[in-house]
C-alpha cells in the first residue's frame, strides 16, 4: 500500500555561492549536491551579502574581528571597515523577507559562516581568538532565533542534516496548514501524522499539542490553530538523541510485533540493541520499520511523518 507523501515547499534563504553563483571573493565556483536536490523541493532565495554591499569579484578578502565585545568586518588590503554597511544591508534584507522557513549558509565565511569562521583579536591581527559566526549570520540568528540555520559544512554530518531538514519541512507543513485550514479535522489529521515525530522530539510538547486539539470548541478554529502552531514551531529545536529514537521505535514495534516470527523478532530487537549501543546505524533500523509497516499494511504508520519527515531524495 502506498501512502501519498506530498510535502509543503519550504522557503530557504541560501548563500548564493553554494548554488554556483560567481560571487566568491576569489571567483571560485562551488557546487553542492544537497543544494541541487533542495531546489526541486524548496523555494530558494539566494543572497550574497558581500556582493550586495558593493564588493566586486574577485575582491580582497575581508575578516571579522572583535572590538569592545562587538563584531566588526574589515578589508585589510584596502583598510575599509565594512561593518555598518553589512549591518544595514543585513537588517534591510532580512526585514524584507515575507516568508522564510530556514537558512542554509556558507560555512567559515566572515559574512555568512554559521560555524567555523575565524574571529580575529583585532583588525590587524593574524591570530584568531576563536571560531564562530560571520556578521550576516549573526544578524540572521538574532532576527530568526526560532528558525533552522545551518551551513553546508555542518550538514556533512548526517544527523545534523536530518535534524535540519526535518525541522524545515515540519515548519513549512505547519505553515501550509495554517494557510488552508477550514476544519478541525485537518488539524486532527495533521496532529495524528506528526505523533511519532513529536514523541521523538518532545513528549511534553506532544502532550501539550494533544490537549490543544482536544480542547477545540466550535467556532474557535483560528485560535486553536494559532495556539497549536505556536507550540509546534518550538517542538523541533533540539536534536533528539539515540535514547529517544529507541523509545519511539519500541512504541512503533508494538504495531507489527505479533505478525513477526520468532527469528524476525530476535533479529529486529538485536539490531535495535546494537543501534542503542552505537554498533548499528539508525537508517538500517528505520528501513526495517518501514518494511514491516509496508508488509503489514500498517496504514497508520505509513502515514507517519516519523517515517518520512522530508522528501526521500534529500537523503541520498
Ligand atoms: S559566503 Fe556569503 S558573502 Fe561569501 S561569497 Fe558566499 S554568499 Fe557571498
The mean per-residue pLDDT over the stretch 263-284 comes to 96
pLDDT digits (tens, 9 = 90+) for 67-93: 999 999 999 999 999 999 999 999 999
List all residues 6 or more positions away from 81 whose beta carbon is below 8 Å from its beta carbon: 72, 73, 74, 123
Give residue 315's pLDDT. 87
Ligand 1 within 6 A of CB of 48: yes
CA 16/CA 226 separation, integer angstroms = 34
Q: How many angstroms does the Cα of residue 169 sit away from the middle of ligand 1?
A: 25
Place of cell 532580512: 94
User: What predicted TM-score, i.e. pTM, was given to this entire model?
Assistant: 0.94
| pLDDT of the residue at 298 | 87
Q: How far apart are CA 78 and CA 28, in angstroms?
A: 21
Q: Is there an atom of ligand 1 within 6 Å of 162 CB?
A: no
Express as a percent the part of the chain with pLDDT over 90.
94
Give yes or no for residue 15 CB within 6 A of ligand 1: yes
Q: Which atom of ligand 1 is nearest to the CA of 51?
A: 8
Any atom of ligand 1 within 6 Å of the Cβ of 14: no
| Residues 12-70 pLDDT 10s | 999 999 999 999 999 999 999 999 999 999 999 999 999 999 999 999 999 999 999 99
What mean pLDDT is predicted for residues 121-134? 93
Q: Going by C-beta distance under 8 Å and a sequence separation of 6 or more, which residues neighbour residue 154? A: 107, 114, 115, 160
pLDDT value of position 301: 92
The verdict on the CB of residue 17 being under 6 Å from ligand 1 is yes
Going from the Cα of 108 to the center of ligand 1, the distance in angstroms, rounded, reads: 10
What pLDDT score does 103 carry?
A: 98
pLDDT at 107: 96
pLDDT at 134: 97
Domain-by-domain residue ranges, the chain? Answer: 11-156, 180-316
**pLDDT at residue number 4:** 63
What is the percent of the chain with per-residue pLDDT over 70, rounded to a whole number?
A: 99
Q: Kindly report the average pLDDT of the chain as a whole number.
A: 95
Q: Could you report the per-residue pLDDT of 201-239, keeping only the tens digit for each?
A: 999 999 999 999 999 999 999 999 999 999 999 999 999
pLDDT value of residue 3: 54
Asked if the model's pLDDT at residue 270 lies above 60, the reply is yes
Q: Tell me what the mean pLDDT of segment 99-114 comes to.
A: 96
Amino acid at each position: 500500500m502506498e501512502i501519498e507523501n506530498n510535502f509543503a515547499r519550504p522557503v530557504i534563504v541560501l548563500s548564493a555561492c553554494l548554488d554556483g553563483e560567481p560571487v566568491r571573493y576569489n571567483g571560485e565556483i562551488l557546487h553542492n549536491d544537497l543544494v541541487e536536490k533542495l531546489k526541486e523541493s524548496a523555494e530558494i532565495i539566494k543572497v550574497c551579502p558581500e556582493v550586495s554591499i558593493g564588493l566586486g569579484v574577485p575582491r580582497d578578502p575581508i575578516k571579522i574581528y572583535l572590538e569592545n565585545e562587538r563584531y566588526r568586518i574589515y578589508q585589510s588590503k584596502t583598510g575599509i571597515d565594512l561593518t555598518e554597511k553589512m549591518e544595514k544591508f543585513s537588517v534591510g534584507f532580512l526585514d524584507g523577507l515575507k516568508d522564510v522557513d530556514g537558512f542554509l549558509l556558507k560555512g567559515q565565511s566572515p559574512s555568512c559562516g554559521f560555524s567555523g569562521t575565524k574571529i580575529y583579536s583585532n583588525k590587524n591581527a593574524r591570530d584568531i581568538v576563536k571560531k564562530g559566526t560571520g556578521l550576516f549570520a549573526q544578524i540572521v540568528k538574532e532576527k530568526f532565533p526560532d528558525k533552522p540555520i545551518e551551513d553546508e559544512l555542518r550538514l556533512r554530518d548526517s544527523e545534523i542534516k536530518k535534524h535540519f531538514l526535518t525541522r524545515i519541512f515540519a515548519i513549512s507543513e505547519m505553515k501550509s496548514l495554517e494557510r488552508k485550514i477550514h476544519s478541525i479535522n485537518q488539524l486532527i489529521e495533521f496532529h495524528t501524522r506528526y505523533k511519532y515525530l513529536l514523541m521523538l522530539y518532545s513528549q511534553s510538547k506532544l502532550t501539550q499539542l494533544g490537549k490543544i486539539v482536544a480542547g477545540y470548541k466550535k467556532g474557535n478554529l483560528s485560535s486553536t490553530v494559532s495556539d497549536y502552531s505556536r507550540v509546534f514551531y518550538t517542538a523541533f529545536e533540539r536534536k533528539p538523541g539515540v535514547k529517544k529514537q529507541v523509545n519511539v521505535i519500541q512504541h512503533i514495534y508494538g504495531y507489527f510485533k505479533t505478525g513477526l516470527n520468532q527469528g524476525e523478532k530476535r533479529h529486529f530487537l538485536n539490531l535495535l540493541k546494537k543501534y542503542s549501543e552505537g554498533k548499528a546505524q539508525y537508517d538500517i533500523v528505520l528501513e526495517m520499520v518501514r518494511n514491516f509497516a509496508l508488509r503489514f499494511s500498517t496504514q497508520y504508520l505509513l502515514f507517519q511523518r516519523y517515517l518520512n519527515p522530508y522528501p526521500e531524495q534529500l537523503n541520498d
